[in-house]
Amino acid sequence: MKRIFLLLFVVLSFNAAIAQKGNLVLFTEEGERFLVVVNGIQQNQKPETNVAIRNLPQGLYFIKVIFEDKSLGILNDKINIMGAYERTFTIKKKTGSDGQMKYVTRIVSNVLIPADAPPPPETAVIMYEAPPVGSETTVTQTTTTTSTGTPDGGVNINMNMNGMGGGININAGGMDMNGATTQTTTTRTTTTTSNSGGGTVYEQPTPVQQPERIVYVPGYNGPIGCPMPMNRTDFEGAKSSIASKSFEETKLQIAKQIVGANCCTAAQVKEIMKLFTFEASKLDFAKFAYKYTYDQKNYYKVNDAFEFESSISELTSYIGQ
């Protein structure tokens, strides 16, 4: 009989916990301010760094984090809320498999909600506003990419015959003597919640217009350390100036002076490193040149200029710090 009562107590307690509502806490590790959209409804009225949403019924929720800084993009995620529990997530940066930096959510804690628990300090507390009855949520994302120019510095020519008059339009835009291509990308994401019952209607258009970007290393789309690397003519002149010096210390000094006032590709850094005789000079220059390198994602290429594995390890540790 005791076992039956105990089992009944556990079942009732479990059902009571499910019936209770949970909390969701979101915060950014580096203090980025953001808006939170839950199932198509914007929760906080102004961007915050810490947001606690309370009174959420148990279930799966579609979360959209819209950063105040539009260049950071938008984070979309799904979070499961359990009754009577407060789930805390951090919003942090992560490097994806494609080498691009993106934001993700990572759970920090999942605890039972104590009675009359005060909110964390400096946290915006919002009582959850559910979508009104009869609402419908639509998410639309449109991305347009336009490229002009060719990697080998060729010319794109479009010829349009205008009627019988034989008019010809020639488009030679996007040319670059370094073989650069011009790419323009426009992304627009719109979340709309419509309510047939006459309730709240939420529409959050978030256009992200990226400035026109000239790609100086064909196919490269990773982080950029400087705006425009030296062209081949200027670079060959810089190499000659460095190589003409007799002393290693002088070579290193001039190399730093040139790179610090200009911009290089990873391949160019590697070529300059080969002008040095000593491993210490190569490592010193590689550390210095990293922040003046256009295609930083390709910096692993400079490792081929080293003779010792220890130099590669030290450079990797330096960049990581």
Structural domains of the chain in order of their starting residue, each with its CATH number: 2-130 (2.60.40), 140-155+172-215 (no CATH), 232-320 (no CATH)
As a whole number of angstroms, the distance between CA 37 and CA 43 comes to 6
Question: Cβ(101)–Cβ(223) under 8 Å?
Answer: yes
Tell me: pLDDT of 199 over 50: no
Residue 200 binned pLDDT confidence (cut-offs 50, 70, 90): very low
pLDDT, tens digit, 9 for 90 and up, residues 224-242 = 889 899 999 999 999 999 9
pLDDT of residue 2: 57
Who contacts 129 (Cβ-Cβ below 8 Å, separation ≥6)?
Answer: 41, 43, 200
Give phi and psi for 224, each to the nearest 5: -115, 130
Percent of the chain clearing pLDDT 70 (strictly above)? 64
The residue-averaged pLDDT of 268-297 equals 95
- Measured over the CA atoms of residue 304, residue 305, residue 307 and residue 312, the dihedral's sign is negative
As a whole number of angstroms, the distance between CA 106 and CA 170 comes to 52
Q: CA dihedral in degrees (138, 127, 119, 64; nearest 10)?
A: 0
Give Cα 118 distance to the centre of its chain. Answer: 33
As a whole number of angstroms, the distance between CA 255 and CA 276 comes to 10
In eight-state DSSP terms, residue 162 is: B
**Residues making up the chain, counted from first to last:** 321
